[in-house]
A and B are shown apart, each in its own frame.
Chain A
Amino acid sequence: MSIHQIAVWLATAALCGSWATQASSEEITIGGMAPTTGNVATFGVGQRNAYQLAIEQVNAAGGLKIGDKQYKVKLLFEDEQNSPEVGATVARKLINQDKVAAILGPTNTKVCLAVGPIAQENKVPMVTPTCTNPKVTLVGDYVFRAGFIDTFQGAVGAYFVYETLGKRKAGVLFDNGNDYTKGLATYFRQAFEKLGGKVVAFESFTDEEKTVDFRPQLIHIKSAAPDVIYTSDYYGAAALIAKQAQEMGLKVPLAGGDGFDSPDLVRIGGPSVEGVHFTNFYSQDDPSPEVQEFIKGYRAKYNDTPDAYAAQGYGAAQILFDAIRRAGKIDGPAIRAALANTKGLKTVAGEITFDANRNPTKPAVILEIRDGKQKFVKRVSPADLPENIRP
């Protein structure tokens, strides 16, 4: 092989893969990202289902009316494997290669933080359904979210634990390797202490090689004698923490955040997760018509009840479609402006009005695991929180 051939080969190799797929004139391509494999696979699968459902319904009703033409919506979905590196690569591909008009997703904060700057610099609007760390939307004005932020979620958790459960000494355990878990745990602690409680233990672990043994940290928590344990982690770790705490004789209630929302919590944790409480975006028992209608549609198509991740995903799609309609054209800045102007939009994710940081003001719900199922306990909106912990 001479150098000639190599040069030609390399150039051809580069060319071969670079077919630019432009959206056809009657089609609008939307990019979707969620982790359908990995340690939070149930989140990704739910969101992918939700995106597909939303797009199917829109197309069945004749498509999106943009300007004076009807457009069919096409979804290009990628699995970001809950990895920032994969997320960044996939986002670049969706934006540069597939020329999507907007991005739905990613699901988790750490991927959002990697993808946000890419969307921002390419002027592609991004609506994340479930990234909750405040930093995510601070990346730029092209990043929007459909859920609440963790300063609020942590405060709600603290308020519930303090007022309703009546606990005063919290032991906190969280994953140090993740902005979301670390942030939520920190915000919980701040709010809990402002309310007058005491955080007697603040232990962390690193999710290196998928930690399954939390006992080294639980032993320390146990020596601090808390009356409640708060963990901001995801369902897999949460279930194991619940189990191992029980095994060690640490029989205090466990509370957490939206990461608990998965059928695998009960599957892995078994009886040890009975009575566990967590804050979440939505509850299946929500009587509002949008939510019930969505649940019916989801059940009909997927034969399964949607969790909060799916609901938020659907809501994010609704927000995006509404904005595209109002923008009147397939243009990044126009869609972005329309998104920023969203006011009082009724979606499955709640009534959405974006504030100056592109976060919606929406209430959280508290759920409890009873008889292996999620049961609605109460709804908490920002106004319900005492002044000193309101974000």
Chain B
Amino acid sequence: MFFGVAGLGESTSFFGQASRSAIWTIVLILAALLSLAWYVSYFGPAAFLQQLLNGLQRGSIYALIALGFTMVYGVVKLINFAHGDIFMFGAYVACFAGATLLGSGHWVAFVGALAIAMTLTALLGVVIERIAYRPLRERPRFSALTTAMGVSLFLENFFALPPNAVPFPLNHVVFGPNYISFPPLVVVEYFSLGPLYVTTMHILDFALAIVLMVLLHLFIKHTVTGKAMRAVAFSRDGAKLMGINVDQTIATTFAVGSALGAASGLMYGMTYGVLASPYFGIFPGLQAFIAAVLGGIGSIPGAVLGGFLMGISETFATSVNSNLGYMTSFIILIVVLLFRPSGLIGKLQREKV
């Protein structure tokens, strides 16, 4: 389930030795377990379980976004900063599509919104790749990274323009900076399981994440396109020599990654019911990116595992103190990068002279 041997590209870990970083991993896991134990004793098992459940739900959303990140990085070695905004775009499209289709019944609306969002967002991803990333493929890393940041900012600010400040025909395209309610595409039921409160969304989010991950895995492993993606990830020139259309493969990668982001956007909208503004994708995008790095960037199960871990840690940390929640994500990132840059499931790369 790897994309080639994508670990960290050319980086070396701070301590440089696989065994030392393993020790650090154990230390960190112990620290995490200890803090969880403290949490249970301080807040009680009921609260703990509920937070865990909510954390898994949040983590499912992050896992799907992280999958998109990890795929793109694995194949193109690019950190697509704009991925969080693609996720945001997918959520808005799903919102409008769902609202329009709601009249025809819930399941029609749900499936329809999902299909439309995934298609349009995949299109956006492909367009961005073609315009902004493809010309920079042979250039040094930082130009693609900077361009990605530019794309991200542009998407956010463009869609945040208020419709009345924008000339026709763009005023029908922008979303505006204010709250938009997400239509109730699924009838949400609540039921209690002992002290726990579970909603349909908990189950749906988790199920969707697992299903899509499995589908993606099958796609990569057993289809020709998937094989092409793995080939390009391993060696772009080698793939070219084998007759693989690299441009098309990369475009497909972006399409699939963006579609996954859109699915995640739909889930986000259904779970939280409100799209605060076109800037809402920044934070989940960041969390998902950290999740991908935590799991081992380029690794699919790593992305999913990382997603769940980030969702859980964020929920617990926020409930103790909301500033702590925000800081925790970055501390995890820094710790991972300094001590185990290949992530939990990644492999260490050594720099060749």
A249 to B198, alpha carbons, bound, how many Å? 10
- Shortest Cβ gap from A228 to chain B (Å): 20
Is the interface on chain B under 10, 10 to 19, 20 to 34, or 35 or more residues?
35 or more
Are B279 and A249 neighbours in the complex by a CB distance under 8 Å? no
Decide if B44 is an interface residue (CB 8 Å cutoff): yes
Are A236 and B276 neighbours in the complex by a CB distance under 8 Å? yes
Are B54 and A223 neighbours in the complex by a CB distance under 8 Å? no
Are B197 and A247 neighbours in the complex by a CB distance under 8 Å? yes
Interface 1/0 per residue, A258-294 and B, CB below 8 Å: 0000001001100000000000000000000000000
Are B283 and A216 neighbours in the complex by a CB distance under 8 Å? no
Q: Which of A38, A219, A243 contacts B51 (CB 8 A)?
A: A219
Q: Which of A37, A41, A176, A247 contacts B322 (CB 8 A)?
A: A176
A240/B274 contact (C-beta < 8 A), A39-B179, A208-B326 known: yes
Decide if A68 is an interface residue (CB 8 Å cutoff): no
Q: Which of A39, A205, A223, A240 contacts B47 (CB 8 A)?
A: A223
Decide if B58 is an interface residue (CB 8 Å cutoff): yes
Decide if A120 is an interface residue (CB 8 Å cutoff): no
A209/B192 contact (C-beta < 8 A), A220-B43, A223-B47 known: no
- Shortest Cβ gap from B34 to chain A (Å): 20
Q: Which of A37, A215, A248 contacts B162 (CB 8 A)?
A: A37
Are A223 and B43 neighbours in the complex by a CB distance under 8 Å? yes
Which residues of B, 306-353, contact A by the 8 Å Cβ criterion? 315-316, 318-319, 322-323, 325-326
Interface 1/0 per residue, A196-231 and B, CB below 8 Å: 000000001110111111011101100100000000
A65 to B301, alpha carbons, bound, how many Å? 75
- Shortest Cβ gap from A122 to chain B (Å): 29
- Shortest Cβ gap from A205 to chain B (Å): 5
Decide if B25 is an interface residue (CB 8 Å cutoff): no
B-side contacts of A240, CB under 8 Å: 272-274
- Shortest Cβ gap from A262 to chain B (Å): 10
A213 to B61, alpha carbons, bound, how many Å? 13
Interface 1/0 per residue, B165-198 and A, CB below 8 Å: 0000000000001110100000010101000010
Decide if B35 is an interface residue (CB 8 Å cutoff): no
Are A209 and B280 neighbours in the complex by a CB distance under 8 Å? yes
Decide if B18 is an interface residue (CB 8 Å cutoff): no
Are A204 and B322 neighbours in the complex by a CB distance under 8 Å? yes
- Shortest Cβ gap from A79 to chain B (Å): 9
A205/B318 contact (C-beta < 8 A), A210-B279, A267-B181, A268-B274 known: yes
Are A249 and B190 neighbours in the complex by a CB distance under 8 Å? yes
B-side contacts of A215, CB under 8 Å: 50, 54, 315
- Shortest Cβ gap from B190 to chain A (Å): 6
Decide if B46 is an interface residue (CB 8 Å cutoff): yes
- By CB atoms of chain B within 10 A, which of A37, A211, A215 has the most? A215
Are B58 and A213 neighbours in the complex by a CB distance under 8 Å? yes
A294 to B280, alpha carbons, bound, how many Å? 38
Q: Which of A205, A210, A216, A267 contacts B277 (CB 8 A)?
A: A210
Are B179 and A209 neighbours in the complex by a CB distance under 8 Å? no
CB closest residue in chain A, given B276: A210
A206/B277 contact (C-beta < 8 A), A223-B46, A240-B272, A249-B192 known: no
Are A268 and B179 neighbours in the complex by a CB distance under 8 Å? yes
Decide if B248 is an interface residue (CB 8 Å cutoff): no
Which residues of A, 145-160, contact B by the 8 Å Cβ criterion? none
CB closest residue in chain B, given A41: B178
Are A247 and B274 neighbours in the complex by a CB distance under 8 Å? no
CB closest residue in chain B, given A243: B273
- Shortest Cβ gap from B56 to chain A (Å): 13
Number of interface residues of A (CB under 8 A): 31
Are B272 and A209 neighbours in the complex by a CB distance under 8 Å? no
Are A268 and B181 neighbours in the complex by a CB distance under 8 Å? yes
Are A208 and B177 neighbours in the complex by a CB distance under 8 Å? no
- Shortest Cβ gap from A241 to chain B (Å): 12
CB closest residue in chain A, given B201: A247
- By CB atoms of chain A within 10 A, which of B50, B162, B279 has the most? B50
A268 to B325, alpha carbons, bound, how many Å? 26
A39/B277 contact (C-beta < 8 A), A206-B323, A217-B319 known: yes
- Shortest Cβ gap from B81 to chain A (Å): 16
A-side contacts of B51, CB under 8 Å: 216, 219
Interface 1/0 per residue, B151-166 and A, CB below 8 Å: 0000000000010000
Are A248 and B197 neighbours in the complex by a CB distance under 8 Å? yes
Are A216 and B319 neighbours in the complex by a CB distance under 8 Å? yes
A-side contacts of B322, CB under 8 Å: 176, 204-206, 208, 211, 217
A216/B54 contact (C-beta < 8 A), A209-B280, A223-B47, A268-B181 known: yes
A219 to B316, alpha carbons, bound, how many Å? 11
B-side contacts of A36, CB under 8 Å: 162
A176 to B324, alpha carbons, bound, how many Å? 13
Q: Which of B44, B190, B279, B323 contacts A209 (CB 8 A)?
A: B279
A204 to B324, alpha carbons, bound, how many Å? 12
CB closest residue in chain A, given B283: A209
A129 to B26, alpha carbons, bound, how many Å? 58
A-side contacts of B197, CB under 8 Å: 247-249
CB closest residue in chain A, given B286: A209
A39 to B177, alpha carbons, bound, how many Å? 8
Q: Which of A209, A220, A248 contacts B319 (CB 8 A)?
A: A220
- Shortest Cβ gap from A211 to chain B (Å): 8
Decide if B199 is an interface residue (CB 8 Å cutoff): yes
Decide if B228 is an interface residue (CB 8 Å cutoff): no
Interface 1/0 per residue, B32-47 and A, CB below 8 Å: 0000000000011011
CB closest residue in chain A, given B280: A210
B-side contacts of A176, CB under 8 Å: 322-323
Q: Which of B179, B190, B319, B325 contacts A236 (CB 8 A)?
A: B179
Q: Which of B179, B192, B280 contacts A264 (CB 8 A)?
A: B179
Interface residues of B (CB under 8 A from A): 43-44, 46-47, 50-51, 54, 58, 162, 177-179, 181, 188, 190, 192, 197, 199, 272-274, 276-277, 279-280, 282-283, 315-316, 318-319, 322-323, 325-326
CB pairs A–B below 8 angstroms (26 shown): A37-B162, A38-B177, A38-B178, A39-B179, A176-B322, A205-B318, A206-B322, A210-B276, A210-B280, A212-B276, A212-B280, A215-B50, A216-B51, A216-B319, A217-B319, A219-B47, A219-B50, A219-B54, A220-B319, A223-B44, A236-B274, A240-B272, A247-B190, A248-B50, A249-B190, A264-B179
Other A-B contacts than A39-B179, A223-B43, A268-B181, 10 sampled, CB-CB below 8 A, are A36-B162, A39-B276, A210-B279, A216-B315, A216-B316, A216-B318, A219-B54, A247-B190, A248-B50, A268-B179
What 6 A-B pairs come out closest when comparing CB atoms? Answer: A216-B319, A210-B276, A209-B283, A206-B322, A212-B272, A216-B318
